[in-house]
Structure 1
C-alpha cells in the first residue's frame, strides 16, 4: 500500500497525507468521512449518510447539507495533496476510492490472513507476529469521540474483533509455552472482559503452568461469584473442568502438541 495517504479508524479518526494530519474536526464531516471509510470502495447512499449524521430531527434539505460537507472534505484533502477524486460521487451517494491508500482496518485484515496461513502451516511464531501487528493497529476505542448511532454497529464489530484477536493471540502464546510473559496481559484483559470466560480460562492456565495454582483457583472463585451474582448461573462446564483439573493437579503443564 502507498503510505502517502493513510486513514485510521481504530482509535480517533485520523487522516494523513504525506504523513501530515488533515484537520477534520467538524462533527458532521468526521462522521461522513468515517462512514465512507467503514465502507471504502463501496457506495454509501446520501440517505445512509443522513442517518449517520443526524440521529434525530433532520434539518431542511439534509442532502444538500451532506453535499456541502463532502465538498469541504474534498477541499481539505486536495489542499493536503490527495487526489481530487478520492471521494467520488455516484448516484445515489458517494464512496472513497481507496486505491493504494492505507486503511488500518484493511491492514488488520491482511495481517489476520497471514496469521491464519502461518498457523495452518504450523508456523506459530510467525502467526503470533502477524497477530501482534494486527493488534498494533488499535490506538484506543474505535472512532473515539464519534457520536453517531448509525456507526455504532461498525464500532462494536471492530471492538469485538479486537477482543477475539487478543484471545487468539494469547492462545498462541500459551501454545508456544510463553505462559510467564502473558500473565500481566491476561490480568488486564480479565479486568476488562466482563463475563467473557475465555480470558479467565487462559489466565488460570497461565498461572497454573507458572506454578501459581492458588492464584489460578482464586481467579475461578472470583469468576464463579460474579456469574452467580450477575447471571444467577454457574460458569460453563468447560471452565469448571479446568478448575477441577487444577485442583487435582492433573491439568497439563505443557501445551498440547499440534498436528502439522
Structure 2
C-alpha cells in the first residue's frame, strides 16, 4: 500500500525520472545544475540506496574519453548537486560519500519509479481478486506518472538502457490495462488512444491486437481488418515476418464475424467470449 511518510512529509524530497529529471522538496522544485551534474544525479537516483562507484559516474558523463581530471570534476558535480538540493529545502545528507563512490539514500516512495511499481503491483492484485475497476484506477495512476520519455534530454550512453527499461515497463503496463478495460467493455473509449499508440509502435503486436479488438467490438469491422493489413505490411517490411499466431487468429475471427475472446490475463468474472456490441 502507498503511504506518505510521517511528520516530515512536507520536506520530503521526491525525484522524478519518468520524463525529464525533476526534484521537488515539499512544494519547491530544485533548480538543478547543468547537464553534467544532471547525469550524475540521474545515475544516483536510478541506483537509489546503492553505492555507485566513482568510475561508473565518470563513464556516464564522458564515456570512453574521460579527462585526466574526471575524478575531481565528479566531486565538484556532486557538491553542486548537494548545494542545489539543500537550497530547495532537502536534507544536506541525502547524498553520502562512501568508499570509492557515492550513495543517494532515500526512504521508499521517494522516486516516481518506486510509486509506479507499487501501483502496478496493487493493480495486479486487484485484477486477480476480481476488482477490475480498482485495477484500472491503479494502472492509470501508475501510467500518469510518466511525463514523457524517461530521463529525457540527458545525453549519456550509460543511461540509455535505463530509459529504455522504463519505456518498456510503461508499454507493458498499458497492455495489461487495456486487457482489463476491454474486459470491462470500454472498447469504444479505447480506440483513439490505441490508434495513437499503434502509430507510434507499429511492430508491437499486442497493441495492434487490442486495437483490432476494440474496433471490432465497436462495430468497425472494416477498420479492424485494415489495422491488421497495415500491421502485416509493416512487419514484412521491417523484419520479414508475418503477424504472430494470435493476430492471425483474431483476423480470421473478424473475417468470419465470430465472437472474440476477452483477454485471458484478466481475473474478471465475465463471459469467456464477447460478441460484437
Alignment-derived partner of residue 20 in structure 2: 12
CA distance in 1, matches of 2:85, 2:25: 8
Paired residue secondary structure (1:158)? helix
TM-score (norm 1): 0.95
* 1:79-158 superposed matches below 5 A: 79-99=87-107, 102-158=110-166
For the structure 1 residues 90 and 259, does the alpha-carbon distance in structure 2 shift closer, same or farther, using more than 3 Å as the test? same
* 1:44-59 superposed matches below 5 A: 44-59=52-67
Structure 1 unaligned spans of 5+: none
For the structure 1 residues 183 and 110, does the alpha-carbon distance in structure 2 shift closer, same or farther, using more than 3 Å as the test? same
For the structure 1 residues 258 and 103, does the alpha-carbon distance in structure 2 shift closer, same or farther, using more than 3 Å as the test? closer
TM-score (norm 2): 0.89
Q: 2:187 touches 2:214 (CA, 8 Å); kept in 1?
A: yes
Paired residue secondary structure (2:126)? helix
Paired residue secondary structure (1:88)? strand
CA distance in 2, matches of 1:233, 1:60: 49
Query: 1:109 deviation in Å?
Result: 0.9
For the structure 1 residues 39 and 76, does the alpha-carbon distance in structure 2 shift closer, same or farther, using more than 3 Å as the test? same
Q: 1:242 touches 1:251 (CA, 8 Å); kept in 2?
A: no
Alignment-derived partner of residue 215 in structure 1: 223
Alignment-derived partner of residue 227 in structure 1: 235
Query: 1:184 deviation in Å?
Result: 0.5
Query: 1:236 deviation in Å?
Result: 1.3
For the structure 1 residues 204 and 65, does the alpha-carbon distance in structure 2 shift closer, same or farther, using more than 3 Å as the test? same
Q: 1:17 touches 1:80 (CA, 8 Å); kept in 2?
A: yes
For the structure 1 residues 21 and 250, does the alpha-carbon distance in structure 2 shift closer, same or farther, using more than 3 Å as the test? same
CA distance in 2, matches of 1:252, 1:111: 29
Moved more, 94-103 or 13-22: 94-103
Query: 1:59 deviation in Å?
Result: 1.2
Alignment-derived partner of residue 176 in structure 2: 168
Query: 1:252 deviation in Å?
Result: 3.2
CA distance in 1, matches of 2:68, 2:112: 35
Query: 1:156 deviation in Å?
Result: 0.5
Query: 1:223 deviation in Å?
Result: 1.0
Query: 1:231 deviation in Å?
Result: 2.0
Equivalent of 1:248 in 247, 252, 256: 256
CA deviation digits over 1:162-188, x for unaligned, max 9? 111111111111011110110001001
Aligned length: 260
Q: 1:45 touches 1:93 (CA, 8 Å); kept in 2?
A: yes
For the structure 1 residues 200 and 3, does the alpha-carbon distance in structure 2 shift closer, same or farther, using more than 3 Å as the test? farther
